[in-house]
Amino acid sequence: MGLLEIEGLNKAFGSLTVTRNVSLSVPSGRKHVIIGPNGAGKTSLIHQIGGQLQPDSGRILIDGAEVGKLGPEGRARLGLARTFQKNTLFPKLSVHENVRLGAQARFGSPFDLFRPARRSTELDDRAASLLARFGLDHLAQAPAGSISYGDQRQLELAVALSGEPRILLLDEPTSGLSPTETKALVGVIRSLPDDLAILMIEHDMEVVFSLADRITVLYYGEVLAEGTPEEVTANARVQEVYLGAGI
């Protein structure tokens, strides 16, 4: 069984079905990429996994435990972290403070009985080492809103990783980036811990093929194809419906 397991998920907004009987499995260490045209239901799927949106039916399991009606915080405690398609940084706080807050949200609360609060210096050290890993240490004291868009997207990833997740959900992490910034971000994603399970939405095919171990193609809320990059590109339905549409 995968670290992240989705079974027969369904979701509709009124008469619009955005998720139809979607199943997928992401074991520890795998990079699984979701592709599909605009409006295919990719973001809605990630919202359901992250706890931002309740599915109508189906199951989501993290390490064998059904997440049910757990909110985003409860899922974070099970090891899930995510970034959003749109920027969610605190623009007036420093780069360092943004990462530190991420770590604090996960490890710093004295009300979490299952994890002793980490000491303040420990949180600062963790934030500093993450920023160094991302090559953002020279910007540590700058307000997050003042750094370049490419650096902001890397910072979002650093914030997501600050809680030491086992599963990372990324919604179009390279959107809006220049080719150089995209390359840098791909390098960072490649350098993440080997055992981290990653489920990411990506529209840049070069990025998809340089990162994906497996690909799921979503089309009108349904899984059109799932497999290795080679299997998916050789799939006649994918060629006809998805690649043939020139998307």
Binding positions for ligand ADP, rule: CB under 6 A: 13, 16, 18, 36, 38-44
Q: Which stretch binds Mg ion (CB under 5 A): 10-18, 41-49, 121-129, 155-163?
A: 41-49
Position 152 contacts Mg ion (CB under 5 A): no
Q: Report the nearest approach of Mg ion to the CB of residue 172 (Å).
A: 6
Asked whether 169 and 200 are in contact (CB, 8 A), the reply is yes
User: Among Mg ion, ligand ADP, none, what does residue 139 contact (CB within 5–8 Å per kind)?
Assistant: none
Pairwise CA distance, residues 247 & 237, whole Å: 14
Q: Which is nearer to ligand ADP, 151 or 156 (CB)?
A: 156
Q: Which is nearer to Mg ion, 9 or 103 (CB)?
A: 9
Q: Which is nearer to Mg ion, 42 or 126 (CB)?
A: 42
Q: Which is nearer to Mg ion, 97 or 202 (CB)?
A: 202
Q: Report the nearest approach of Mg ion to the CB of residue 175 (Å).
A: 9
Q: Which is nearer to ligand ADP, 23 or 28 (CB)?
A: 23
What is the length of the chain? Answer: 247
CA distances from residue 82 to 2, 117, 182, 243 in whole angstroms, order as listed = 18, 22, 18, 28
Q: Report the nearest approach of ligand ADP to the CB of residue 189 (Å).
A: 19
Residues with Cβ within 8 Å of 179's Cβ and at least 6 positions away in sequence, in order, are: none
Position 43 contacts Mg ion (CB under 5 A): yes
Provide the binding-site residues for Mg ion, judged by CB under 5 A.
42-43
